Structure 1
Amino acid sequence: MSDKQAPIFILGGGAWGLSTALHLSRAGHTNITVFERAETIPSPYSAAYDLNKIVRPEYEDSFYTGLALEAIEAWKTPLFGPYFHQTGYIVATTGAAPPKAIHHLQAALETIQANPMFKSKITPLTGKKEFQDFAWQFSGPLNGFQGYFNRLAGYAHSSNALHGIWLHLAANGVKFILGDRAGKVEELLYDSSSPSANRQCVGVRTADGKFHRSKTTICALGAHAASLIPSLGRFAVARCWSVAHVQLTASEVDLLRGLPTTNVRDLGFFFEPDPETRLFKLCPLGAGYTNTQESGLSIPPADRLPPPQDFIPVADERKLRKLLQEVFPWMADRPFVDQKLCWFADTIDSDFCIDFVPDTQKSLVVLSGDSGHGFKMMPTFGSWVVRLLESGEQTEARWRWKDIDTRSLDWDTAVSWRIGGTRELKDLIADKKRQEQARL
């Protein structure tokens, strides 16, 4: 884009929307507006509205390993550094792990070991004593645990990162329109004089009835994007995974301070506890859950807090209880608090979509398909959007718009990190109601 004063709209104030605003501003664009339906940032509609996210370079695909290494270096800069914690990263499988989980660990390990950046940074681990060399707090049996420790990785405090970057952008001229009326985009507007097959997006209509005109509109609404661009939902599917927490005491938080971020591939992952809230976050691993509508599209529930909140599926709770029994048995029977389902836009191959929407005369860009691994790229992601706008085309084939419908394909086996099968949200809610009735 040669006109740096032309109005650019970014829909969504999550990790990718804010990163895009940051890099557009750095590239000299002076008329950037971010629309966000939440009253403040971090937004509860964002997948990054969370205590923490893993920042790691482990991929079976060396392409993403390289990008993650670049992002880790950017996390260490003054702007992003306050939110990054390089605690190291333990990856493991238990003695009962299915072959798919073991294969995923081994394939990712082989990829990073082949990269010279990891020389002397990886330590293979077998048995309880070797794991305790890096996480002395592990007090459980660790039955059959095998894996490795990676010194380069860790986690970022995601909500704090969103808040900090928002304040930085607002102080440097990026405009924000917030709120469930003024900031909620309900419709993309197109030039009525253009043929329907080649329309130009000329702006948006917000929930308060106002029309806003732009030169370029960038949709960064994550799992919610298909509500505005239905054709996107054919290959970028709204999917959720469970999140749960254990409330700790101050002394227990101190006990687990400095704990490496740990991912047990057949059970779940966890982080050192958050010192402010004293919450210890855990997430089970699985293939996720969808919310398919009559239209055939999976879209998150319309309400911010869809019933039932403070709930995760029974199967996920069992995984997390097993994880705690193996690693922290003193915590295994504690109640789970702040349970929720976290929504992402998932693609069958876990590739991002960073491209112009077809037949919009390059006026509409979509950023989607974070697939549960996109947050770590926040410091660098926006540079790829700037490159797209400046070149006028997506030169990275894997990030192009897909003209195929992948919804009926075999997602469960398409990538090795998905373990198990998917289910529909309505079935989980029905299960929950049956359990509650059985207890009466």
Structure 2
Amino acid sequence: MFDEAVIIVGAGVSGLSTAYALLKRGYRNVHIFDKRDYVHLGYNYFKGCDSPSSDMNKIFRAAYGEQTHYQKMSLDSRKIFLEWNQRIKDCDFEGGQPIYFNSGNVHLTSHHTLPPFEQLTLQNMSSSQAICVSDVDATERARAIGQPASSVDPFEMKRRGKHLQGVLDTTGGMIVADKACRWVLHLCRTEFAASFHTHFGPWQGAIDHLLVDYVKGTIEKKCMGIKTRDGQLHVANLTITACGPWTTEVVPEAAEKVEATGGTVALMKITDPKALEKYSEEKFPTWTFDVREKGIGGLYGFPVRNGFMKIGYRGLKWTNPTKMLNSKVKTAFSDDPEENVPLFGLKLIKQFIKEHIPEVKKLDKTRLCWYSDSEDNDFLISYCPFYANRSLFTIAGDSGHAFMMFGSIGDVIADIIEETNENAFLKELFSWQRKREPLNAINKGVDDPRALCNQLMATESDWVVRETCKL
């Protein structure tokens, strides 16, 4: 088993974590494919990498309300991130700076009482891990465990006489996304050089289609590997798709379970020295605002990274239905490129900035960040039942979870692949055959009000936040 070829399609968080976990378990013939040449492009969005893993930063949190299984996975991952921070420092990888900043993740709400999710978070995390920000001693408690004072009230709402309510996850903070991917790719290539094989680039790394053979005497089909766009055939007993929002382009059967959805992202260049200090990675938390409020909520943001502050909107998850796909990824680097974002979400971002971040006068860049959403917000980590002999395994439906669990998700995936007795609950939770009440309406086509074809798209003229600023 360990010498047989394993193909992984997709070198983002899911693909890399799976590869690393399998390599650590003794697999000696692991091949990973991706259409982006990450070795040279470094998971840098500005260089043309448009996967959800190719980003400056991602939120880390363990606050998951009643979903204590995700809480545990995040806390397990956090231990690995702390170990990686030390290893990166010790070997001076890319200057030795950390990939995980524990500056807190604060969930702010416009409600005067805590929403149910935050109440359950307080119940299921310890008093040192989760703090209600409206408590009179919240700042004192946060400081006592090493959190920056701003983590409780990052936008100085109390000082400005505004309502402050929410929960601070003191285990939370920020992950340097692109560097984290480069680090795990580095581990795979250096620790398992003879067993790990990369196939990156628009021809040798891009999948054209799955290789399929039919089981003799039956109508069952088996996945035999993949064909890449350079015409080469790559044969394996096990093919793993970790394609994120491109999943249904590779495995059309997955359209019944997952859908590509895009979130609005805005970047603002910060140059003022005082603002750079105030919003620095060490002193400023990641944050969300009314993140579970549909439509008008769903904002999230970050400290400054490489001179840019990033704010996103996921209150409505945009789709791009086509004749062939329920929703197709559309970015500035697609064959049919999209440079702009829906005006609706951008207006909400600008409104929040205008009220709470006085240093920002205008936006400097916008983009769509695409994810793989499942109908119930849980992962799809399962053998595909449409392919015989356990020949095709699918990882999708990360719904924004995956980066927080970068350190732990690989072992969960490997346990499900190997069908061990470990993580039996998660195997069922993430299975293809699960039947649960859907939380997301997927596959609504062009009639979906979230479809990009039904949106008024913003332009650069909409980037002004304060009218005194000129583009």
1:301: Cα distance to partner? 3.2
Structure 1 residues 178 and 315: alpha-carbon distance in aligned structure 2, compared to 1, 3 A threshold: same
Which residue pairs with 1:330 in the alignment? 359
Report if aligned partners of 1:134, 1:149 keep a CA contact under 8 Å in 2.
no
Which residue pairs with 1:353 in the alignment? 380
Aligned mates of 2:359, 2:137 — CA distance in 1? 19
Which residue pairs with 2:142 in the alignment? none
Deviations 1:388-407 (A, max 9, x none): 2222799422200148899x
Report if aligned partners of 1:287, 1:412 keep a CA contact under 8 Å in 2.
no
Aligned mates of 1:121, 1:302 — CA distance in 2? 37
Give the TM-score of the pair, scaled to structure 2: 0.79
Aligned mates of 1:127, 1:322 — CA distance in 2? 27
Which residue pairs with 2:11 in the alignment? 13
Which residue pairs with 2:133 in the alignment? 125
Aligned mates of 2:63, 2:331 — CA distance in 1? 34
- Tell me whether 1:261 sits opposite 2:286 in the alignment: yes
Deviations 1:225-249 (A, max 9, x none): 1112111011111111111110011
Report if aligned partners of 2:376, 2:439 keep a CA contact under 8 Å in 1.
no
Which residue pairs with 1:272 in the alignment? 303
1:70: Cα distance to partner? 1.3
1:41-440 equivalences under 5 Å are: 41-42=42-43, 44-60=49-65, 61-78=67-84, 82-94=98-110, 106-115=115-124, 118-126=126-134, 133-135=149-151, 138-139=155-156, 141=160, 143-171=162-190, 172-173=192-193, 174-194=196-216, 197-249=219-271, 251=273, 252-257=275-280, 258-265=283-290, 266=297, 268-274=299-305, 277-295=306-324, 297-301=326-330, 304-305=333-334, 309-331=338-360, 334-358=361-385, 359-391=387-419, 395=424, 396-402=427-433, 411=440, 423-428=450-455, 431-432=457-458
- Give the aligned residue type for 1:13: A
Aligned mates of 2:99, 2:197 — CA distance in 1? 23
Structure 1 residues 88 and 148: alpha-carbon distance in aligned structure 2, compared to 1, 3 A threshold: same
Aligned mates of 1:139, 1:196 — CA distance in 2? 67
Q: Which runs of 5+ in 1 are unaligned?
A: 414-420
Give the TM-score of the pair, scaled to structure 1: 0.85
Structure 1 residues 402 and 342: alpha-carbon distance in aligned structure 2, compared to 1, 3 A threshold: farther
Q: Which runs of 5+ in 2 are unaligned?
A: 89-97, 140-147, 291-296, 443-447, 463-471
1:287: Cα distance to partner? 2.6
Structure 1 residues 254 and 133: alpha-carbon distance in aligned structure 2, compared to 1, 3 A threshold: closer
Structure 1 residues 296 and 187: alpha-carbon distance in aligned structure 2, compared to 1, 3 A threshold: closer
Structure 1 residues 389 and 285: alpha-carbon distance in aligned structure 2, compared to 1, 3 A threshold: closer
Aligned mates of 1:317, 1:299 — CA distance in 2? 21
Deviations 1:282-326 (A, max 9, x none): 012313011112135212138724666442221111211222233
Structure 1 residues 195 and 76: alpha-carbon distance in aligned structure 2, compared to 1, 3 A threshold: farther
Aligned mates of 1:195, 1:351 — CA distance in 2? 36
- Give the aligned residue type for 2:284: L
1:362: Cα distance to partner? 0.3
SS at match of 1:351: coil
Structure 1 residues 290 and 267: alpha-carbon distance in aligned structure 2, compared to 1, 3 A threshold: closer
- Give the aligned residue type for 2:399: S
Deviations 1:154-211 (A, max 9, x none): 1201111111211221222211001101100111102245467422211110001111
Size of the aligned set, in residue pairs, is 411
- 216-225 vs 161-170, which moves further: 161-170
1:432: Cα distance to partner? 4.7
Aligned mates of 2:436, 2:109 — CA distance in 1? 34
Deviations 1:224-280 (A, max 9, x none): 011121110111111111111100116122231210111112351111101xx2010
Structure 1 residues 356 and 108: alpha-carbon distance in aligned structure 2, compared to 1, 3 A threshold: same
- 75-84 vs 46-55, which moves further: 75-84
Structure 1 residues 130 and 112: alpha-carbon distance in aligned structure 2, compared to 1, 3 A threshold: closer
Structure 1 residues 422 and 239: alpha-carbon distance in aligned structure 2, compared to 1, 3 A threshold: farther
Structure 1 residues 306 and 279: alpha-carbon distance in aligned structure 2, compared to 1, 3 A threshold: farther
1:216: Cα distance to partner? 0.7
Aligned mates of 2:354, 2:136 — CA distance in 1? 14
Structure 1 residues 263 and 129: alpha-carbon distance in aligned structure 2, compared to 1, 3 A threshold: farther
Report if aligned partners of 1:127, 1:144 keep a CA contact under 8 Å in 2.
no
SS at match of 1:316: helix
- Give the aligned residue type for 1:88: G
1:106: Cα distance to partner? 3.0
> What fraction of aligned residue pairs are identical, expressed as a percent?
21
CA-based RMSD of the aligned residues comes to 3.0
Aligned mates of 2:197, 2:407 — CA distance in 1? 20
1:146: Cα distance to partner? 1.0
SS at match of 1:47: coil
Aligned mates of 1:198, 1:410 — CA distance in 2? 32
